[in-house]
Amino acid sequence: MGYLYEIATTAPAFLKPGHYDAHPPARSKEPEVIPFGSDRQQHCTLWEPDEVLHQAPVFYFHGGGYVFGEAESMEDAANVYNAQGYRFCSVGFREAPFHKFPSMVRDAFNGVKAAIDWMEERGVNCDRIIIGGTSAGGHLAALVCYATWLQEAFRFPADRIVACISVAGVADAADLLVKPFPTYAAWRKLVDLRTDGEDRDAMRRAIARYSPVDIVEEEAARNAVPDIPLFVVHGRKDTLSPYASQVRLVDALRKANGDDAVEFLTLEGRNWQHMNTTVTMHKDAVDESQALSALFAWLADKA
């Protein structure tokens, strides 16, 4: 029933009107486009409110399972964050099937770096930054925040990150890159990873390098997990991004960095499956949404 429910609720979720469509935030400037590559998806889109109330800009990755979506698709989220006085920068990335995984990961790191440089050249203080994402974008956000080997490879200024936000994020890369595909051959065409074999188990071992929960559990053994607080919103009945994987990541972070390392909001009820959570969360008024109210209360002392 889970997958059928996802299909049945997808269209109504996208058709739901956004609160900030009718009550737009004070934003006089048109969004800025910040390119960082030659592909049409390699750009960031920056929305700025007229009154900036928080120093730390938000850098956010959209969802879409690495096969659809674009930077501009996060306008609902931009409206929400702008209404609260945050600069909001949506980071685009190349997608399958035209670009194989992990090109998305490379774009995530390079895109945020390019946007930081662009903003600082124009006088924006980026000493403190917030990283977030929805669904597959939550996977990218977790990698940017907790994968120290990637931070080192891309010379990423991870010491600037003050908070990580995940909305129904993919905590185990195998949940996103293996399970949706009925055959190993179909999945194999969408990734470009060196493996120690040609079967699904070998690919699972290879993808673990890009799996937040595997990374955190491994780094915990070395006391090397970055101490970046995480806010998670996840539906218990989520079919596409399993709740159990998110619980495993949360437990690993709490074990490594203490109980206060994670604020974990579980959305109860069948209606809070994946598409409804990811598509509608940013369509509500902040003071009328349990998730948004909790998120911005949590962010208040970090930004």
Most confident region among 16-25, 162-171, 217-226 by mean pLDDT: 162-171
Rounded percentage of the chain residues whose pLDDT exceeds 70: 90
What is the CB neighbour count within 10 angstroms for residue 159? Answer: 11
Counted residue by residue, the chain has a size of: 303
Instruction: Please compute the mean of the pLDDT values over residues 44-71 and round it to a whole number.
Output: 96
Q: Supply the pLDDT for residue 186.
A: 61
Which of 31-45, 69-83, 192-206, 208-222 shows the lowest mean pLDDT across its residues? Answer: 192-206
pTM for the full predicted model? 0.95
Q: Which domains does the chain have, with CATH numbers?
A: 2-299 (3.40.50.1820)
**Contact residues for 113 (Cβ-Cβ < 8 A; gap 6+):** 36, 154, 156, 157
Q: Supply the pLDDT for residue 281.
A: 93
Angle at 148 between CA 192 and CA 206, to 5 degrees: 30
Instruction: Please compute the mean of the pLDDT values over residues 197-203 and round it to a whole number.
Output: 70
Sheet with 230-235: list strands edge to edge: 32-35, 43-47, 88-91, 58-61, 129-134, 161-167, 230-235, 262-267
Q: In terms of DSSP bridges, do strands 230-235 and 262-267 run parallel, antiparallel, or are they unpaired? A: parallel
The Cβ-side half-sphere exposure at 279, using a 13 Å CA radius, reads: 18
The answer to whether 47 touches 88, Cβ cutoff 8 Å, is yes
Per-residue pLDDT reduced to its tens digit, 116-135: 999 999 999 999 999 999 99
**Contact residues for 96 (Cβ-Cβ < 8 A; gap 6+):** 66, 67, 190
Local confidence band at 198 (pLDDT 50, 70, 90 cut-offs): low
Average pLDDT, the chain: 91
